[in-house]
Chains A and B, each alone.
Chain A
Amino acid sequence: KAGVTQTPRYLIKTRGQQVTLSCSPISGHRSVSWYQQTPGQGLQFLFEYFSETQRNKGNFPGRFSGRQFSNSRSEMNVSTLELGDSALYLCASSLDSVSETGELFFGEGSRLTVL
Protein backbone atom coordinates (compact mmCIF):
# COMPACT_ATOMS: atom_id res chain seq x y z
CA LYS A 1 0.00 0.00 0.00
CA ALA A 2 1.51 3.31 -1.06
CA GLY A 3 2.11 5.88 1.66
CA VAL A 4 1.34 9.58 1.68
CA THR A 5 2.97 11.27 -1.29
CA GLN A 6 3.92 14.92 -1.28
CA THR A 7 5.19 16.97 -4.18
CA PRO A 8 7.42 18.77 -4.71
CA ARG A 9 9.92 17.59 -2.09
CA TYR A 10 12.05 20.72 -2.27
CA LEU A 11 11.42 24.17 -3.64
CA ILE A 12 12.89 27.63 -3.44
CA LYS A 13 10.81 30.77 -3.83
CA THR A 14 11.36 34.48 -3.32
CA ARG A 15 9.43 36.83 -1.07
CA GLY A 16 6.10 37.88 -2.49
CA GLN A 17 5.65 34.80 -4.66
CA GLN A 18 3.05 32.14 -4.07
CA VAL A 19 3.43 28.38 -3.81
CA THR A 20 1.18 25.35 -4.18
CA LEU A 21 2.00 22.06 -2.50
CA SER A 22 0.31 18.79 -3.30
CA CYS A 23 -0.55 15.75 -1.22
CA SER A 24 -1.91 12.35 -2.20
CA PRO A 25 -3.22 10.46 0.84
CA ILE A 26 -3.15 6.75 1.43
CA SER A 27 -5.80 5.03 -0.64
CA GLY A 28 -9.09 4.96 1.26
CA HIS A 29 -8.13 7.75 3.64
CA ARG A 30 -10.59 10.60 3.53
CA SER A 31 -9.06 13.01 6.03
CA VAL A 32 -6.03 15.11 5.09
CA SER A 33 -4.26 17.44 7.50
CA TRP A 34 -1.43 19.88 6.93
CA TYR A 35 1.26 20.82 9.42
CA GLN A 36 4.13 23.28 9.32
CA GLN A 37 7.39 22.25 10.97
CA THR A 38 10.10 24.78 11.87
CA PRO A 39 13.05 24.55 14.27
CA GLY A 40 11.64 27.36 16.40
CA GLN A 41 7.95 26.48 16.60
CA GLY A 42 8.01 22.74 15.96
CA LEU A 43 5.01 21.11 14.33
CA GLN A 44 1.98 23.36 14.05
CA PHE A 45 -1.44 22.46 12.72
CA LEU A 46 -2.53 24.35 9.62
CA PHE A 47 -5.86 22.82 8.59
CA GLU A 48 -7.72 19.59 8.04
CA TYR A 49 -10.03 18.52 5.24
CA PHE A 50 -12.54 15.73 5.10
CA SER A 51 -14.74 14.99 2.09
CA GLU A 52 -13.69 18.24 0.41
CA THR A 53 -14.70 20.34 3.44
CA GLN A 54 -12.38 22.15 5.81
CA ARG A 55 -13.23 20.87 9.27
CA ASN A 56 -10.52 22.44 11.36
CA LYS A 57 -8.18 25.38 11.01
CA GLY A 58 -5.12 26.40 12.97
CA ASN A 59 -3.90 29.87 13.86
CA PHE A 60 -2.30 30.85 10.60
CA PRO A 61 -3.01 33.97 8.52
CA GLY A 62 -5.34 33.90 5.54
CA ARG A 63 -2.33 33.67 3.19
CA PHE A 64 -2.40 29.97 3.97
CA SER A 65 -5.22 28.13 2.27
CA GLY A 66 -6.03 24.66 1.13
CA ARG A 67 -8.52 22.50 -0.62
CA GLN A 68 -9.38 18.87 -1.09
CA PHE A 69 -10.59 17.20 -4.23
CA SER A 70 -13.18 14.47 -4.66
CA ASN A 71 -10.43 11.82 -4.83
CA SER A 72 -9.18 13.04 -1.40
CA ARG A 73 -6.02 14.55 -2.86
CA SER A 74 -5.25 17.89 -1.29
CA GLU A 75 -3.35 21.04 -2.09
CA MET A 76 -2.22 23.89 0.08
CA ASN A 77 -1.36 27.34 -1.14
CA VAL A 78 0.68 30.07 0.46
CA SER A 79 0.40 33.51 -1.13
CA THR A 80 2.65 36.54 -0.72
CA LEU A 81 5.47 34.46 0.73
CA GLU A 82 7.48 35.79 3.67
CA LEU A 83 10.90 34.71 4.89
CA GLY A 84 9.25 33.18 7.95
CA ASP A 85 7.29 30.77 5.76
CA SER A 86 10.46 28.76 5.18
CA ALA A 87 9.62 25.40 6.70
CA LEU A 88 8.91 21.75 6.15
CA TYR A 89 5.24 21.35 5.23
CA LEU A 90 3.90 17.96 6.20
CA CYS A 91 0.74 16.36 4.96
CA ALA A 92 -0.91 13.59 6.95
CA SER A 93 -3.84 11.36 6.19
CA SER A 94 -6.15 9.18 8.24
CA LEU A 95 -9.30 7.20 7.63
CA ASP A 96 -11.23 9.78 9.57
CA SER A 97 -9.91 12.43 11.91
CA VAL A 98 -12.31 11.41 14.64
CA SER A 99 -10.80 7.94 14.63
CA GLU A 100 -9.87 7.08 18.17
CA THR A 101 -6.50 5.64 17.30
CA GLY A 102 -5.15 9.13 16.88
CA GLU A 103 -2.93 7.82 14.11
CA LEU A 104 -1.91 10.14 11.36
CA PHE A 105 0.19 8.84 8.49
CA PHE A 106 2.64 11.52 7.47
CA GLY A 107 4.35 12.09 4.16
CA GLU A 108 8.00 13.05 3.95
CA GLY A 109 7.14 16.70 3.52
CA SER A 110 7.79 19.55 1.14
CA ARG A 111 10.73 21.68 2.19
CA LEU A 112 10.11 25.30 1.24
CA THR A 113 12.87 27.89 1.31
CA VAL A 114 11.90 31.54 0.87
CA LEU A 115 14.70 33.90 -0.15
Chain B
Amino acid sequence: QKEVEQDPGPLSVPEGAIVSLNCTYSNSAFQYFMWYRQYSRKGPELLMYTYSSGNKEDGRFTAQVDKSSKYISLFIRDSQPSDSATYLCAMSVGGAQKLVFGQGTRLTINP
Protein backbone atom coordinates (compact mmCIF):
# COMPACT_ATOMS: atom_id res chain seq x y z
CA GLN B 1 0.00 0.00 0.00
CA LYS B 2 1.29 3.43 -0.94
CA GLU B 3 1.96 6.05 1.74
CA VAL B 4 -0.22 8.53 -0.16
CA GLU B 5 -3.30 7.51 -2.12
CA GLN B 6 -4.92 9.72 -4.74
CA ASP B 7 -7.57 8.82 -7.28
CA PRO B 8 -5.94 9.32 -10.70
CA GLY B 9 -9.27 10.10 -12.37
CA PRO B 10 -9.65 11.37 -15.01
CA LEU B 11 -12.15 13.91 -13.72
CA SER B 12 -14.18 16.01 -16.15
CA VAL B 13 -16.50 18.82 -15.01
CA PRO B 14 -18.25 21.78 -16.67
CA GLU B 15 -16.88 25.29 -16.39
CA GLY B 16 -18.01 27.04 -13.21
CA ALA B 17 -18.38 23.84 -11.20
CA ILE B 18 -16.83 23.29 -7.78
CA VAL B 19 -14.09 20.69 -7.94
CA SER B 20 -13.06 18.53 -5.00
CA LEU B 21 -9.76 16.65 -5.06
CA ASN B 22 -8.67 14.38 -2.24
CA CYS B 23 -5.79 12.36 -0.88
CA THR B 24 -5.43 9.96 2.01
CA TYR B 25 -2.20 9.02 3.70
CA SER B 26 -0.90 6.51 6.19
CA ASN B 27 2.18 8.16 7.73
CA SER B 28 1.12 10.11 10.82
CA ALA B 29 4.52 11.86 10.87
CA PHE B 30 3.61 14.01 7.86
CA GLN B 31 3.30 17.63 8.90
CA TYR B 32 3.58 19.54 5.62
CA PHE B 33 0.86 19.19 3.01
CA MET B 34 1.00 20.63 -0.46
CA TRP B 35 -0.89 20.68 -3.72
CA TYR B 36 1.04 20.97 -6.93
CA ARG B 37 -0.41 21.58 -10.39
CA GLN B 38 1.24 20.12 -13.47
CA TYR B 39 0.36 21.17 -16.98
CA SER B 40 1.17 18.86 -19.87
CA ARG B 41 4.89 18.77 -20.70
CA LYS B 42 5.72 21.02 -17.74
CA GLY B 43 7.12 20.48 -14.28
CA PRO B 44 4.81 20.68 -11.24
CA GLU B 45 4.26 24.09 -9.64
CA LEU B 46 3.20 24.71 -6.06
CA LEU B 47 -0.43 25.72 -5.71
CA MET B 48 -1.16 25.52 -2.00
CA TYR B 49 0.80 24.74 1.12
CA THR B 50 -0.52 23.92 4.60
CA TYR B 51 1.30 23.12 7.78
CA SER B 52 -0.50 20.72 10.14
CA SER B 53 -4.31 20.70 10.30
CA GLY B 54 -6.77 23.32 9.20
CA ASN B 55 -7.96 25.25 6.18
CA LYS B 56 -6.20 27.66 3.89
CA GLU B 57 -7.80 29.78 1.22
CA ASP B 58 -6.17 31.49 -1.75
CA GLY B 59 -8.53 33.04 -4.25
CA ARG B 60 -10.62 30.29 -5.83
CA PHE B 61 -8.59 27.55 -4.10
CA THR B 62 -9.11 26.11 -0.61
CA ALA B 63 -6.91 23.44 0.95
CA GLN B 64 -8.09 21.41 3.93
CA VAL B 65 -6.11 19.06 6.14
CA ASP B 66 -7.68 16.65 8.61
CA LYS B 67 -4.82 14.95 10.41
CA SER B 68 -7.12 12.88 12.61
CA SER B 69 -8.56 11.22 9.49
CA LYS B 70 -5.29 11.41 7.51
CA TYR B 71 -7.20 13.13 4.72
CA ILE B 72 -6.48 16.25 2.69
CA SER B 73 -8.60 18.06 0.14
CA LEU B 74 -8.32 20.77 -2.47
CA PHE B 75 -11.42 22.67 -3.56
CA ILE B 76 -11.55 24.78 -6.70
CA ARG B 77 -14.45 27.22 -6.97
CA ASP B 78 -15.73 28.69 -10.23
CA SER B 79 -13.52 26.33 -12.19
CA GLN B 80 -12.06 27.60 -15.47
CA PRO B 81 -10.79 25.76 -18.57
CA SER B 82 -7.31 27.05 -17.64
CA ASP B 83 -7.54 24.92 -14.47
CA SER B 84 -7.33 21.80 -16.64
CA ALA B 85 -4.18 20.03 -15.46
CA THR B 86 -2.97 17.20 -13.27
CA TYR B 87 -3.21 17.97 -9.56
CA LEU B 88 -0.73 16.27 -7.26
CA CYS B 89 -0.93 16.15 -3.51
CA ALA B 90 2.39 15.97 -1.71
CA MET B 91 3.43 15.56 1.89
CA SER B 92 6.56 15.57 3.95
CA VAL B 93 7.82 15.21 7.46
CA GLY B 94 10.03 18.28 7.12
CA GLY B 95 9.30 21.14 4.73
CA ALA B 96 10.47 20.65 1.16
CA GLN B 97 12.53 17.70 2.19
CA LYS B 98 11.81 14.36 0.53
CA LEU B 99 8.24 14.96 -0.65
CA VAL B 100 5.95 11.98 -1.05
CA PHE B 101 3.51 12.53 -3.89
CA GLY B 102 0.12 11.10 -4.70
CA GLN B 103 -0.47 9.59 -8.12
CA GLY B 104 -2.04 12.82 -9.39
CA THR B 105 -5.59 13.47 -10.60
CA ARG B 106 -6.06 14.55 -14.20
CA LEU B 107 -8.73 17.27 -14.28
CA THR B 108 -10.48 18.65 -17.36
CA ILE B 109 -12.77 21.69 -17.18
CA ASN B 110 -15.13 21.77 -20.16
CA PRO B 111 -16.21 25.19 -21.53
Contacts and interface: CB of A to CB of B under 8 A. Distances in A.
Contacts of A55: 97
B21 to A, nearest CB: 15
A92 B102 CA distance: 17
A42 B101 contact: yes
A101 B90 CA distance: 13
Interface residues of B, number: 24
B54 interface: no
A92 B88 CA distance: 15
A45 B32 contact: no
Contacts of A107: 43
Interface of B: prevailing SS: strand
B18 interface: no
B103 A42 contact: yes
Contacts of B96: 31, 33, 94, 96-99, 101-104
B43 A92 contact: yes
B73 interface: no
A90 B43 contact: yes
A45 B43 contact: no
Contact of A43 (B44, B45, B95): B44
6 contacts: A42-B102, A56-B97, A90-B44, A101-B96, A103-B34, A108-B43
